[in-house]
């Protein structure tokens, strides 16, 4: 599903431009709010040339037919579209650090039961609601403010707990799918309602109850690369804490899960994380830690998820790698052999949690 020209970002405004090493843990909110206010959001142009439909099709094809097997949905647009709808229908989807990405509308259109987007910059959240969920398309939008109080123990020598309040702005968007017959001539039945929630605030400060429950799918659209490296572990632990409990998730074939006997094991219900990384190009080695976007080796991604989940069977599966020749699509990633992968490329991974 290609994005229309309506989603091409406006040109950057004159004035402030982000500088290398400027983004730090203690200035994330002001940094991103300023970037959105002056439209320093060049990563959105890449969104137009890599539609979410193609990415989801490639992820599902790779999981269902690993090791480079191009059967079935690869060359059949209708089957690919149906495979995506089957995988997403009725599921709960999280899009962290969402900005004004069209991904939320895309997953709603595929029949997701709930889609939640989170971003620090309220400007980005407001743009998302206005551009992707207009009333003219049948969406209803409400807005409220939630005060979140947190209490932390006193520092050494302190006499009392420290209480702080964080304000989360929440947009609740409801869309009822068009009423259509399943087959021509049959009585029409209303399709399920999709609820979209946009939260303006830090992913790390939002209490679990505001998310509405565990998620089946996480779509990381240039989110992890936007965080300072010191926050990667906290970010991954937060996502894993929102993994399904009690049988939720997406059916994932065991062939892609490290440590399983694929000939005997059954498909697992797992949280699926779709991760887009844009690795830096033509920068000297000492620039790899500059950002955003920050460079992230894929083996580090796998280790972070294994550590957060306290398991060693987490798979990070290569779906697309614009410069990789050493790995076929569907290859589970593990070990030091990843050093052969070049450091400048667009990468798409499926993480099975």
pLDDT digits 0-9 by tens, 336-353 = 333 333 344 678 888 888
Predicted pLDDT of residue 281: 53
What mean pLDDT comes out for the span 82-98?
91
Quick: pLDDT tens for 233-282: 999 999 999 988 766 778 776 544 433 444 334 556 788 999 887 665 55
The residue from 212, 246, 276 where one domain ends is 212
What's the CA gap between 235 and 224, in Å, rounded? Answer: 8
Same domain, 292 and 338: yes
Task: Say if residue 161 is in the same domain as residue 242.
Answer: no
Judge whether 42 and 12 are in contact, CB under 8 Å: yes
pLDDT tens column, 147-203: 877 666 666 655 655 667 778 899 999 876 554 444 444 444 445 578 999 999 999
Same domain as 258, residue 235: yes
**Are 56 and 143 contained in the same domain?**
no
The last residue of one of the domains, among 183, 212, 241, is 212
Q: Is residue 342 part of a domain?
A: yes
- The strand pair at 139-152 and 162-176 is best described as antiparallel
Claim to verify: residue 228 and residue 137 sit in the same structural domain: no
Residues 149 and 222 grouped into a single domain: no
Question: Would residue 57 count as lying in a domain?
Answer: yes
Residue 235, in any domain of the structure: yes
Residues 81 and 135 in one domain: no
pLDDT for 8 equals 39
- Pair 187, 223 in one domain: no
Same domain, 248 and 301: yes
Lowest-confidence pick of 39-43, 258-262, 331-335: 258-262
In 3-state terms, what secondary structure has residue 189? strand
User: Are 262 and 195 part of one and the same domain?
Assistant: no
* The pair of three-digit structure tokens given for residue 196, joined into one six-digit string: 């979209």
- Domain range for 352 is 48-91+216-353
170 is written with which tokens? 């929440």
Residue at a domain's end among 212, 227, 251: 212
In the chain, how many domains are there?
Answer: 2
Q: Would you say residue 14 lies in a domain?
A: no
Residue 330: left if φ>0, alpha if ψ -120 to 50, beta else—which one?
left
Read off the pLDDT band of 119 (50, 70, 90): very high
Helix (H) or strand (E) holding 93: strand 92-95
Question: Is 351 in the same domain as 253?
Answer: yes
Residue 134 shares a structural domain with residue 228? no
């Amino acid at each position: 599903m290609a994005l229309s020209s309506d989603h091409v970002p406006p040109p950057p405004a004159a004035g402030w431009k982000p500088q290398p090493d400027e983004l730090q843990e203690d200035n994330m909110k002001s940094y991103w709010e300023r970037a959105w206010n002056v439209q320093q959001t060049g990563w959105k142009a890449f969104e137009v040339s890599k539609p979410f439909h193609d990415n989801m099709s490639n992820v599902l094809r790779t999981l269902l037919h690993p090791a480079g097997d191009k059967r079935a949905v690869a060359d059949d647009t209708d089957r690919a579209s149906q495979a995506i709808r089957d995988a997403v229908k009725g599921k709960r989807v999280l899009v962290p650090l969402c900005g004004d990405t069209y991904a939320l509308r895309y997953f709603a259109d595929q029949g997701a039961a709930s889609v939640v987007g989170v971003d620090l910059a309220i400007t980005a959240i407001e743009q998302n609601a206005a551009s992707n969920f207009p009333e003219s398309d049948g969406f209803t939008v409400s807005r409220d403010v939630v005060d979140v109080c947190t209490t932390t123990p006193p520092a050494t020598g302190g006499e009392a707990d420290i209480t702080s309040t964080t304000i989360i702005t929440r947009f609740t968007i409801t869309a009822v799918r068009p009423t259509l017959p399943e087959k021509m001539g049959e009585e029409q039945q209303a399709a399920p309602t999709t609820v979209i929630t946009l939260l303006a605030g830090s992913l790390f400060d939002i209490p679990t109850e505001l998310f509405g429950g565990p998620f089946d799918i996480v779509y990381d659209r240039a989110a992890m690369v936007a965080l300072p490296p010191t926050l990667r572990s906290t970010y991954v632990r937060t996502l894993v804490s929102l993994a399904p409990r009690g049988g939720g998730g997406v059916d994932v074939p065991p062939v892609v899960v490290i440590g399983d006997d694929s000939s005997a094991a059954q498909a697992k219900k797992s949280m699926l994380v779709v991760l887009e990384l844009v690795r830096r190009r033509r920068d000297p080695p000492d620039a790899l830690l500059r950002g955003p976007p920050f460079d992230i080796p894929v083996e580090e991604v796998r280790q972070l998820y294994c550590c957060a989940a306290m398991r060693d069977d987490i798979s990070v599966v290569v779906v697309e790698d614009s410069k990789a020749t050493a790995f076929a699509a569907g290859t589970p990633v593990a070990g030091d052999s990843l050093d052969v992968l070049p450091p400048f490329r667009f990468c798409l991974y499926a993480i099975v949690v």
